Chain A
């Protein structure tokens, strides 16, 4: 099976712009989670989607949003970008039943200038 894929892998944006990141989970996985990784704050949970519904949300401002499509693919959007949004954004998927471990994608490296 193909692993979790994320596009694009690298992105450079200007402060004030918005950005959309995409994640395709492993085939058959219905749950997708997003994490932000920065040198200062480490890895932090953003949100989780299951069957097109947001099930959990971390402590991030409303500028961070997401959605999940019927094929389980997910997108994450960040509006009004700030310099502090520069980070590696990781997506993870799991089948969605029971306490299965999560499978992570390679991440999207976002740089805000």
Chain B
């Protein structure tokens, strides 16, 4: 069975400092991996996706993630946090072979950004 584990439920950073949100996945095959962000009272917005092309994936708003097969990780990073980055972030895996819409979500990491 495929699954994702987000290693931190809460992360707090100061504005202008780097952001690291950690995600490990479990998959029998090469997975498709995503990071979504959810702002309060809003739907989910796709930040970036990995689909077996380049292992370093660049997304919107300065975020990027690196797929490391040997470590089964897909950590999300940003060099410099902005106040507007405060939100909940979800690491997501899509099962391989059919069920393209059946996304499996991690538990989420709430990011707080302090002035």
> Which A residues are closer than 8 A to B by beta carbons?
4, 31, 33, 35, 42-45, 48, 55-56, 58, 90, 92, 94, 99, 101-107
Whether B100 pairs with A99 at a CB distance below 8 angstroms is: yes
Selected from B43, B51, B102, the residue in CB contact (under 8 A) with A56 is: B102
> Which B residues are closer than 8 A to A by beta carbons?
32, 34, 36, 41-46, 49, 51, 90, 94, 98-108
**A23 smallest CB distance to B (angstroms):** 11
**How far apart sit A58 and B99, CA to CA, in the bound complex (Å)?**
11
Task: Pull 24 A–B residue pairs with CB atoms less than 8 Å apart, ordered by A.
Answer: A4-B43, A31-B101, A33-B102, A33-B103, A35-B105, A42-B106, A42-B107, A43-B103, A48-B102, A56-B99, A56-B101, A58-B102, A90-B44, A92-B101, A99-B100, A101-B46, A101-B49, A102-B46, A102-B103, A104-B36, A104-B43, A104-B44, A106-B41, A107-B43
Interface of B is mostly: loop
Given contacts A99-B100, A106-B43, 20 further A-B contacts (CB under 8 A): A4-B43, A33-B103, A35-B103, A42-B106, A42-B107, A43-B105, A43-B108, A45-B102, A55-B99, A58-B102, A92-B44, A94-B101, A99-B32, A101-B46, A102-B101, A102-B103, A103-B46, A104-B43, A104-B45, A106-B41
Query: If A55-B101, A56-B101, A92-B101 touch, does A101 touch B45 (CB 8 Å cutoff)?
Result: no
Nearest 7 A-B pairs (CB), nearest first?
A: A104-B43, A43-B105, A104-B44, A48-B101, A33-B101, A106-B43, A101-B46
Query: If A101-B49, A102-B101, A104-B45 touch, does A42 touch B108 (CB 8 Å cutoff)?
Result: yes
